Amino acid sequence: MSNTGDPYLWLEEVTDDRALDWVRTRNAATTAELAGDEFDDIESRIREVLDTDARIPYARRRGEYLYNFWRDASHVRGLWRRTTMDEYRKDSPEWDVLLDLDVIAAAEGENWVWSGAQVLRPAQETALVTLSRGGADATVVREFDLTTRTFRDPADGGFRVPEAKTDIGYAGPDAVYIGTDFGEGSLTDSGYPRIAKRWQRGTPLSEAAVVYEGETGDISISAWHDRTPGFERDFVQRATDFYNAELYFLDGDALTLVETPTDATTSVNRQWLLVRTMTEWTVGEKTYPAGALLATDFDRFMAGEREITVLFEPDAHRSLHQFAWTENHLLVVTLVDVKTELRVLTPSSDAWSDQPLTGLPELTSIEIVGTDSEENGDEYFLSSSGYLTPATLLFGTVGGEVEALKQAPAFFDTDGLTVTQHFATSDDGTAIPYFVVSQENSTPGPTLMYGYGGFEISLTPSYSGATGLAWLERGGTYVVANIRGGGEYGPEWHTQVLRAGRHRVHEDFAAVARDLVARGITTAEQLGAQGGSNGGLLMGIMATKYPELFGALVCQVPLLDMRRYHLLLAGASWVAEYGDPDDPNEWEFIAKYSPYQNIVGPEERRYPPILITTSTRDDRVHPGHARKMAARLEEVGQDVRYFENIEGGHGGAADNAQLAFKSALAFQFLRQKLG
């Protein structure tokens, strides 16, 4: 089924000279067409937003230190740094720079992109630092000495892992749990670790002890250590597909299955086992609904008891969005018609209490951005923002006042702008919410519509300086569609569009497009749409199935060839979302929407102008999707432009300059095509 006789298969050779020559030719043509004074102005202003020192330096609290990674105009690749809470409260904290990535990259002749760090506690003297070449998902791992500010030499017992899609974490001061490319047969079909091992400091990686081996058809295997004092435990997870995983308690060499549903989100904190259900779960005579949050005592549950407390139960308008532990409380963020509420749940010896967290800003979305239940009690950090409201970093302790700790600047003029919420009716009668950011009493005009629709990712209101200055401030209207496939109304908002139900995602987005025209917000000729990754697939479908609804489309780091997606890079891990193209029954419904297979010429159906962008270094969604789609559209005479960043990974950009350029291309293209 997958051997299609595709004439553009050669474009899947990522770094082949012929393919890259094809890329460079189209990059030059697209840049020449869109560049100019207006483009330069948009690009420079977006770059100012990305580089400004006035941004909030979001940090992760680890004991006495707050760690932050920072990029600006002077530090293109970035600084990893830390400070104390007393310093962090200041308008201009004094930061202790741990690692300057620009210096490391220059010394080693590598285009290193930061991928994160794990600090070993409680001493906080060493850390596992992950770096990627050009922004790829594959990383190298090096142990870093925070005292000497140098990478530890493996000859002196430092951990170091060559480039791979590695899963690693400290299992104690002198050991790590690791899953990586150990050689032939050690990866799953999706390219992730199939084997988890325990690696002791000072020994070769080849001698690491196997903890668990999965199957090649699994998605990934991982192991980790919970070092919470008094509750030290080890766990192994076997992800059998994107939405199902088995969790095991590891006691010495003994593995015991945690008997919760494989499609649930299961977590353990101190004595508590939490289960967030994806589908209904029947325990004894009690059935718990999809989207519920449940709690039980971990040790008693493992001993066979099934006394379960319902902490949250969804309804038609309310869903669970986020939760995080402090030392003594559970913070829970819920969505009510895509608007956030935050509550504090507190366990006691005989019950759980449930209280709202008061003192929060009104008419904004709230996200939990940090807690540290190990060493900082009941402190929490929240981020509050809205489409027209720059982010505020909030800090507090449960039971105390909420403090506005940091405030981001405004990057665009909001005078006269308003935010409204509407509901469109999809083909099956489902009400689909969407937000509109526009001038009050505006007449139909250029409108940019954004959507994603997959993997239970919710789109909540948030501030974007780039969108504001490049689109809203110049008179455009901005729309975010909360279509099915996301998690805005709980897991069923997502599960009903899996596999054969995928058409509902497309129908929802099209319904919002029609509703915008019916309400007089825009016209089809003035309506543009944008999406990336799974949202890029959505844009490809809009082009080939609903071209009459749009005046222009921006399709970024997309999936587009759904006949071969499962054979390319991490594609096999998404079969649970889209279906298996090698199964004739499933290919039957995938074939109806796969953009690459449904391209026709303008004499049959004219598509709106489309800009397709991707990254050569994207090792999650293969750049061949975008390349082949553009080549085929060119061949049949449709209106297409193409740009591929030679670096950048799945985010499409490796630094702020690349991100500003890529963003400016999209906005300039839309302005040219929509007026």
pLDDT of residue 3: 46
- Reduce the DSSP state of residue 398 to 3 states and report it: coil
Average pLDDT over residues 205-223: 97
Are 2 and 568 in contact by the 8 Å Cβ rule? The answer is no
Residue 478 predicted with pLDDT over 50: yes
pLDDT of residue 4: 56
Q: Which strands form 254-257's sheet, in the order they lie side by side?
A: 220-226, 233-241, 244-251, 254-257
Dihedral (C-alpha) 298, 304, 310, 314: value to the nearest 10 degrees? 100
pLDDT tens figures, 45-66: 999 999 888 999 999 999 999 9
Residue 649 predicted with pLDDT over 80: no
Inter-axis angle of helices 17-34 and 656-674, nearest 10? 60
Residue 654 pLDDT class (50, 70, 90 cuts): low
Q: Which residue has the higher pLDDT, 37 or 546?
A: 546
CA distance 273 to 294: 8
How is residue 193 annotated by DSSP? B
Average pLDDT over residues 645-649: 73
C-alpha distances (whole Å) from 234 to each of 170, 177, 253, 306, 390 are 11, 10, 11, 22, 40
For the chain, helix (H) and strand (E) counts, in that order, are: 13, 39
Residue 75 pLDDT class (50, 70, 90 cuts): very high
Closest CA to 437 of 478, 402, 469, 405: 478
342-374 core/surface letters (b: 16 or more CB in 10 A; e: else): bbbbbbeeeeeeeeebeebbeebbbbbbbbbbb
Which sequence positions are flagged as catalytic? 533, 650
- DSSP E strands: which ranges in 359-430? 365-371, 379-385, 392-397, 402-407, 417-425
16-23: Cβ within 8 A, 24+ apart: 19/627, 20/616, 20/646, 22/627, 22/631, 23/616, 23/627, 23/642, 23/644, 23/646
CB count in 10 Å sphere of residue 675: 12
Write out the two tokens for 527: 């309506």
Residue 653 pLDDT class (50, 70, 90 cuts): low
pLDDT of residue 53: 87
C-alpha distances (whole Å) from 429 to each of 432, 542, 626 are 9, 20, 33
Dihedral (C-alpha) 509, 512, 513, 517: value to the nearest 10 degrees? 170
Residue 648 predicted with pLDDT over 90: no
pLDDT of residue 119: 97
Per-residue 3-state assignment (H helix, E strand, C coil) for 121-140: CCCCCEEEEEEEECCCCCEE
Structural element, H or E, at residue 226: strand 220-226
CB count in 10 Å sphere of residue 73: 13
CA distance 220 to 217: 9
pLDDT tens figures, 272-320: 999 999 999 999 999 999 999 999 999 999 999 999 999 999 999 999 9
CA distance 391 to 462: 8
CA distance 520 to 516: 6
C-alpha distances (whole Å) from 490 to each of 142, 267, 293 are 39, 18, 11
Tokens 């239940």 sit at which residue?
A: 373
Classify the C-alpha dihedral 47-51-57-59 as positive or negative. positive
Residues in the chain: 675
pLDDT tens figures, 336-383: 999 999 999 999 988 999 999 999 998 889 999 999 878 778 999 999
pLDDT tens figures, 81-138: 999 999 999 999 999 999 999 999 999 999 999 999 999 999 999 999 999 998 888 9
Report DSSP letters for 455-510, one per residue: TT--------HHHIIIIITTT-EEEEE--BTBSBTBTHHHHTTSGGGTHHHHHHHH
pLDDT of residue 136: 87
CA distance 657 to 74: 12
CA distance 322 to 317: 16
Inter-axis angle of helices 37-51 and 656-674, nearest 10? 140
CA distance 220 to 218: 6
pLDDT tens figures, 157-185: 999 999 999 999 999 999 999 999 999 99
Tokens 């690749």 sit at which residue?
A: 77
Specify the pTM.
0.91
Residue 663 predicted with pLDDT over 80: yes
Q: How open is the CA angle 181-187-193, to the nearest 5 degrees?
A: 70
pLDDT of residue 233: 97
Residues 6+ apart with CB under 8 A from 440: 416, 417, 418
When the pLDDT of each residue in the chain is averaged and rounded to a whole number, the result is 95
Are 616 and 645 in contact by the 8 Å Cβ rule? The answer is yes
Residues 6+ apart with CB under 8 A from 468: 411, 412, 414
pLDDT of residue 311: 98
Q: Which strands form 318-325's sheet, in the order they lie side by side?
A: 318-325, 330-336, 339-347, 352-356
pLDDT of residue 2: 44
**Which domains does the chain carry?**
9-35+411-674 (3.40.50.1820)
Residue 180, classified by CB atoms within 10 Å of its CB into exposed (0-12), middle (13-18) or buried (19+), is buried
pLDDT tens figures, 262-271: 999 999 999 9
- Reduce the DSSP state of residue 106 to 3 states and report it: helix
Residue 646 pLDDT class (50, 70, 90 cuts): confident
